[in-house]
Amino acid sequence: MRFKHRQELQINPMHDDPVISECQTLCNVIIAEVKSGQCALKGPWTKRSYENMQRILRAIGCFDGKVIKKSADAIYEKGQYEDDYVTCRIFAFGDRHGALSIPGVSQVLFNHVLKFIYSRLLEYSRQKTYVSNWPKYGHILKQLVGAYRDFSQFRQETRRLFSLSFELQADGG
């Protein structure tokens, strides 16, 4: 979840990835499905009878209870719902594009994510010096950026460490 006026650093602010952050409302809520291979959506996000979308929206608390069914229906149908204040969308992350059962769900490939991480950690290395609160994998990514000043080497080593295939997609980098 991100708010529209979020700003990290006053001088040379860090911008979030526009693929994810592009949102016209005050609050941007992303529900992410991550697969190691092809982008896909599991049954909980596609089968209305499970009512998982209603449960997750109530748990997040971003919509008034009166519009939970309406917002869940819209997300089941087109992958997103927005009102005057909140935009809630499903994103599918993976190594390659897949055929998704919900039109409008954005697919973000790992190579795109790796480019963003690499650029962010390289450009803001001074600001990202003190990261003791980061999880283990954040530390690994930071170390890899420091070790490989060439994106292709960083990508290759990161893909190896995270057990991702080495096939590079033309649209993913």
Whether 148 and 159 have beta carbons less than 8 Å apart is answered as no
Does 87 share its domain with 105? yes
Residues 6+ away with beta carbon under 8 Å from 81: 63, 70, 71, 72, 74, 75, 87, 88
Is position 101 within any domain? yes
Q: Residue 82 falls within a domain, yes or no?
A: yes
Q: What is each CA distance from 20 to 28, 50, 91, 93, 129, in whole angstroms? A: 9, 27, 9, 11, 25
| pLDDT value, residue 159 | 94
Same-domain pairing of 57 and 86: yes
In a domain, 172, yes or no: no
Query: What's the predicted TM-score (pTM) here?
Result: 0.89
Quick check: is 170 in a domain?
no
Lowest mean pLDDT among 47-51, 53-57, 69-73: 47-51
Tell whether the model's pLDDT for residue 15 goes beyond 90.
no
- Residues 79 and 117 both lie in one domain: no
Q: Are residues 96 and 132 in the same domain?
A: no
Mean pLDDT of the chain: 91
**In the chain, how many domains are there?**
2
pLDDT in tens, 114-161: 999 999 999 998 888 878 899 999 999 999 999 998 999 999 999 999
pLDDT at site 171: 47
131 and 101 both lie in a single domain = no
